[in-house]
Amino acid sequence: MIVVGIDEAGYGPLLGPLVVSATAFNVPPERANDNLWSVLSDGVCNEPSRHETRLPIADSKILFKRKKGIETLERTALVMLKAAGRSPETLRDLTKILAPEKLEQLSQHPWYAHYDCAIPSATSSADIATRANAVKRCMSAQQVSIRGIFCEVVAEADYNRRIKITRNKATLLLQAGLRLIQKIQARVGTPMIVHVDRQGGRAKYREALMTFFEGQSLRVNSETPTCSAYTLGEGDRSWTIDFTTKGESSHLPIALASVFSKYLRELYMGAVNAYFGSRVDDLTPTAGYYTDAMRFLADIAPAVQREKIDKSLLVRSR
In a domain, 315, yes or no: no
Residue 107 lies in a domain: yes
Number of neighbouring beta carbons within 10 Å of residue 225: 9
For range 120-125, the mean pLDDT: 96
Rounded Cα distance, 76 and 71, in Å: 9
Mean pLDDT score of the chain, rounded to an integer? 96
Task: Specify if 55 maps to a domain.
Answer: yes
Rounded Cα distance between 20 and 197, Å, is 11
Question: Which of 22-26, 30-34, 189-193, 297-301 is predicted least confidently?
Answer: 189-193
Q: Is residue 302 part of a domain?
A: no
So what's the pLDDT on residue 143?
98
Residue 197 lies in domain: 2-272
In the predicted model, is pLDDT for residue 318 greater than 80? yes
What pLDDT, on a 0 to 100 scale, did the predictor assign at position 99?
98
* Alpha carbon separation from 154 to 161, 173, 192 (Å, rounded): 10, 9, 25
Asked if residue 97 has pLDDT above 80, the reply is yes
d(CA 145, CA 44): 14
What DSSP letter does each residue of 1-15 carry, written as one string?
A: -EEEEEEEE-SS-SB
What are the b/e assignments for 279-315, b being 16+ CB within 10 Å? ebeeeeebbbeeebbeebbebbeeebeeeebeeebbb
Confidence class for position 11, pLDDT limits 50, 70, 90: very high
Residue 50 lies in a domain: yes
317 falls within a domain: no
Query: Is the pTM value of this prediction over 0.95?
Result: yes
In a domain, 204, yes or no: yes
pLDDT tens track for 13-70: 999 999 999 999 999 999 999 999 999 999 999 999 888 999 999 999 999 999 899 9
For residues 182 and 257, what is the distance between their CA atoms, to the nearest angstrom? Answer: 16
Q: What is the pLDDT of residue 116?
A: 98
Tens of pLDDT, residue by residue over 232-289, are 999 888 999 999 999 999 999 999 999 999 999 999 999 999 999 999 999 999 999 9
Nearest-angstrom CA–CA distance, 149 and 81: 8
307 located within any domain? no
Looking up residue 263, the CATH number of its domain turns out to be 3.30.420.10
Q: What total number of domains does the chain contain?
A: 1
Per-residue pLDDT band at 190 (split at 50, 70, 90)? confident
